[in-house]
């Protein structure tokens, strides 16, 4: 048995037979050549570099995802706020028009033109559509109709409630939150002058305290 065959059959020896294209034995080499300290340091540096790059990539992906989600939520909240403000403005216009001596319906496009400037109509088109959908679906005081005006079908809103709209009457608004407390008699300092035994003989202070002396509205 040749030395090459011996190395190939006994891999535990850690030897490798080097052959050419004709399978002729060229020599014997170590299967796992020893690594010097510089090679170990280089491999460690590369491993650390790949680890840092991977961590940075994960952090950037997490930050980008968080930023996109947060931006979408803020944009959605702002859009909803603008829709509700537009709904309030529409209700105020309809309530004013449907007041005493006024008509009870207004063309939808006329309200849009009165509330939105021509420059902003394209930018606020989606907000207006959502406000219209909200009113047609959830607002019971307004009825959506199509009426023939001067031979042309026109979308109108008809105010069906006899009570004028007020932001203080809207859900979520408490009209009494900013009102001053009502004035009322808070009772005397002592329950009874005849039955009270703890009345001081001398005034405890030279100052007189008077409550609710000034008007809150002034």
Domain boundaries, the chain: 1-34, 39-169
44-50 mean pLDDT: 93
**Spatial strand order in the sheet of 105-107:** 105-107, 152-159, 142-149
Distance (Å, whole) CA 180 – CA 159: 33
Are 104 and 159 spatial neighbours (Cβ–Cβ below 8 Å)? yes
The answer to whether the predicted template modeling score (pTM) of the entire model surpasses 0.85 is no
pLDDT for position 175: 45
On the question of pLDDT at 3 being above 50, the answer is yes
Cα separation of the two ends of the chain: 119
Q: Which residue has the higher pLDDT, 184 or 178?
A: 184
Residues 39-169, CATH architecture: Orthogonal Bundle (1.10)
153-181 mean pLDDT: 61
Q: Which residue has the higher pLDDT, 86 or 174?
A: 86
On the question of pLDDT at 103 being above 80, the answer is no
């Amino acid at each position: 048995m040749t030395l090459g065959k011996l190395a190939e059959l006994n891999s535990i020896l850690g030897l490798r037979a080097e052959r050419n294209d004709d399978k002729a034995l060229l020599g014997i080499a170590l299967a796992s050549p020893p690594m010097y300290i510089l090679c170990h340091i280089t491999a460690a540096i590369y491993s650390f570099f790949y680890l840092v790059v991977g961590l940075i990539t994960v952090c950037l992906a997490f930050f980008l995802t968080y930023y996109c989600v947060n931006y979408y939520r803020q944009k959605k909240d702002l859009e909803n706020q603008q829709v509700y403000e537009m709904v309030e403005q529409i209700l105020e216009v309809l309530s004013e028009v449907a007041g005493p001596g006024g008509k009870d319906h207004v063309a939808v496009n006329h309200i849009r033109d009165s509330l939105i400037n021509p420059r902003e109509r394209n930018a606020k088109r989606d907000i207006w559509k959502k406000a219209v959908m909200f009113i047609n679906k959830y607002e019971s005081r307004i009825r959506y109709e199509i009426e023939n005006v001067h031979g042309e079908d026109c979308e109108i809103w008809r105010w069906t409630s006899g009570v004028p709209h007020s932001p203080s009457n809207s859900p979520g608004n408490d009209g009494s939150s900013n009102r001053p407390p009502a004035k009322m008699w808070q009772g005397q300092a002592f329950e009874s002058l005849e039955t009270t035994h703890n009345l001081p003989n001398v005034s405890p202070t030279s100052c007189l305290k008077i409550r609710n002396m000034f008007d809150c509205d002034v």
